[in-house]
Amino acid sequence: MKWNDRFHEVIEYIEICLQQYHEDISVKDIESIMDCSYDLFQKMFSYQCGLGFSEYIRNRKMTLAGYDLKSTDLKVIEISYKYGYESPTSFTKAFQTFHGVSPSIARKNEVMLKTYPKMKLNLKKSYPWFLERKEKMRIIGKSIELVKEDLNNEQLIPAFWSQCFQDGTFAQLVEMDESSRKGCFGLFCNHQDKTKIKYMLGVISSCQNDHYETYTLPHATWAVFECCGRMPQAIQDGWRYLEQEWFAEYPFQHAGYPEMEWHSQGNGFSDNYLSEIWIPIIEEENENGSFGLL
């Protein structure tokens, strides 16, 4: 399940807790739905939504409490306990901070109350993403050397792919592919070099072939972003999205391994063609076995 799908499932879970069962929101339930630590979820929620998770919960509680005051005969003390407040005093303070009026005044017909709607992700372009924990991967393939920050790389990399198609390299690599999910990787190696970078086209394989070079990636966790559309435009648009929006508010610590592209088998000129961008990140394992940020 993709991150955005899990996110929407958490939002629905929150609404069920608040509106149907009137029970506390469980940290363990959120970690189970998101398949990550609560700390990581809170950071990503804040990044994607522009406000903290606890603030969102408080806003939703106050919105629903306003509905209750206007549409039911429930007492203030009953509403305060319904939404998890220990006393009417703490509830009244939170209510007045949000709505600008006290609960008693809010019951008057002429008083208008604020609302905060259920959260929905609204991105300019959707790039579904998820965390992928992979064991060590041995990549075999062919590479070219590029100059960092060179705008011509957007033409040089597709030209390298075309060359590999024409000289039979791509067909040979496909035959050596041992991955359960067939496709070719594009690795940006020696990324620590300040002036040059090596781009390697390869597949996961244990084959030995003197005509090709190899690169072994250690056990790592990756933030994987899906790009859908015609090549090479789709993957290039994905990189631009990451550079302009994701990296600007980068919620992870980079693991220092090569960043990668993954290209599925199929027609690269199709509007539905799937490619991916893989960013290596660092996680730490918590005492409860879940993962969080370093």
- Of 106, 137, 166, the domain-final residue: 106
Kindly state whether residues 195 and 86 are assigned to the same domain: no
What does the alpha-carbon distance between residue 66 and residue 77 come to, in Å, rounded to a whole number?
14
Kindly state whether residues 98 and 16 are assigned to the same domain: yes
The residue to which tokens 């609404």 are assigned: 15
What does the alpha-carbon distance between residue 284 and residue 294 come to, in Å, rounded to a whole number?
6
User: Whole-number mean pLDDT of the chain?
Assistant: 87
In this predicted structure, what is the pLDDT of residue 24?
84
> What mean pLDDT comes out for the span 126-153?
88
In this structure, the number of other CB atoms found within 10 A of the CB of residue 283 comes to 20
Tokens of 268: 């690269």
pLDDT surpasses 50 at 199: yes
Kindly state whether residues 49 and 148 are assigned to the same domain: no
What does the alpha-carbon distance between residue 153 and residue 230 come to, in Å, rounded to a whole number?
18
In this predicted structure, what is the pLDDT of residue 116?
87
Number of structural domains in the chain: 2
Q: Is residue 122 part of a domain?
A: no
Kindly state whether residues 136 and 241 are assigned to the same domain: yes
* Start-to-end C-alpha separation, the chain: 24
- Of 106, 137, 171, the domain-final residue: 106
Domain range spanning residue 195? 129-293
Kindly state whether residues 19 and 143 are assigned to the same domain: no
Kindly state whether residues 147 and 237 are assigned to the same domain: yes
